[in-house]
Amino acid sequence: MLNKFNQKSIPNVILLFGEESFLVDEQLDLITNMLIDDGLDINSIEKLDGSKINEQEIVDNANNLSLISPKKLLIINNFDLLYKNKRKSNPIFVNYVHNPNPSTTVILKGIPSKLNGISKDLKNLKKASSAKTKIEKLPEVLKYLILNDFFIEFPKLYENEIPDWVVRRVAKYKKQIDIQTANLLALSCNSIREIDNELDKLNVYLGNKEHITINHVEEIVGINKENNVFELTKAIGLRDLDTSLRITDNLLSHSNQSVLILITLSRYFLTLFKLLDERKMTQNKFQLAGKIGVNPYFIDEYLRALSKYSPSEIENIISLLSNADEELKSTSTDYKYLLFRTLTDIIA
């Protein structure tokens, strides 16, 4: 689905919707970045709320060219609310959708809930006729976009579909997972957004290892989600010494995870160090996330950490962690004492 449109074939008007809001948001980010790569300036991105505007305003904004960039992106959130109490489209809007401004990409985000699953129904021989009847009753703009395939839907994934989705999703990280392990991960999370967050953690944890096993899922996702290395980095990013020490103590009380902790902290601060330079080049969060190799969902945490640590502190911490790693490997120092001392030196 993410490849339905390539950079050169993105329609000037796209209807984007679905019950899987995580995938809808991800698709919006993908299209946005494709347009940026094709010359769109981030200052030429405009967002409007469908509950507060009318169709004429959409047309006016779409035709109002940017002075900064030859291209413009107009995102209409809650587009479904525009048609909440009406059955017909404004003829001016209909005409625009048929003949859009070639310099502007308009993304209409949202659709009436009665149309949820329409993309699946159109492919189902038993439901296709009923789906087409629904479409014929839509306002002209919606009907035109759907019938001409200028839409992307992410219908709800049912419980039995999620493990297969996990297997496909893992391939994005160039890793493999068997269906049993995928099912365990699916059962451990409340949404596919949460699943993807856990996959991002597993990807960092595994490094170059290609296979995600049940042991990995149990160790990283865990039963107690408050005590893992990723919650530890979050606490350190906030310079919260008490929470950092508590999580570390809990981690070490179950098994000696001192090496994992140091590796994770080193990667974390190396990523912050890289972010220092990349932030000078762009303020676009999606581009920043791609440059430093993290999920866009976590970029705000990294940016927040930069407000807590100065560049010189980050450099010193990287050196400090390297020394702690050498000390852990070469001496008989108590690993809990070593980690507590290191955390205190980092945060205090």
Mean pLDDT of the chain: 88
Please give the tally of structural domains in the chain.
3
Q: Which of the listed residues 198, 220, 242 is the one where a domain comes to its end?
A: 220
On whether the CB atoms of residues 72 and 65 are closer than 8 A, the answer is yes
Q: Smallest Cα–Cα separation from 199: which of 223, 176, 180, 233? A: 176
Whether 204 is in a domain gets the answer yes
Q: How confident is the model at residue 255 (pLDDT cuts 50, 70, 90)?
A: low
Is residue 86 domain-resident? yes
- Give a yes or no: residue 6 inside a domain: no
Examine the domain organization and report whether 23 and 144 are in the same domain: yes
CB atoms within 10 A of CB 347: 20
Tell if the pTM clears 0.75, that is, is over it: no
Confidence class for position 334, pLDDT limits 50, 70, 90: confident
Domain span at 115: 13-153
Q: Is the pLDDT of residue 7 over 60?
A: no
Same domain, 122 and 81: yes
Q: Are residues 80 and 23 in the same domain?
A: yes
Among candidates 17, 23, 147, 32, which has minimal Cα distance to 81?
17
At 223, is the pLDDT very low, low, confident or very high (cuts 50, 70, 90)? very low
Q: Given a cut of 90, is residue 170 above it in pLDDT?
A: yes
Handedness of CA 67, 69, 70, 75 (dihedral sign): negative
> Domain boundary residue among 153, 169, 197?
153
Q: Which of 153, 170, 198 is the last residue of a domain?
A: 153
Tell whether 95 is covered by a domain. yes
Q: Domain for residue 78, yes or no? A: yes
Whether 107 and 173 map to the same domain: the answer is no
177 and 138 both lie in a single domain: no
Q: Are residues 60 and 38 in the same domain?
A: yes
Q: How many CB atoms lie within 10 A of CB 182?
A: 22
Whether 175 and 254 share a structural domain = no
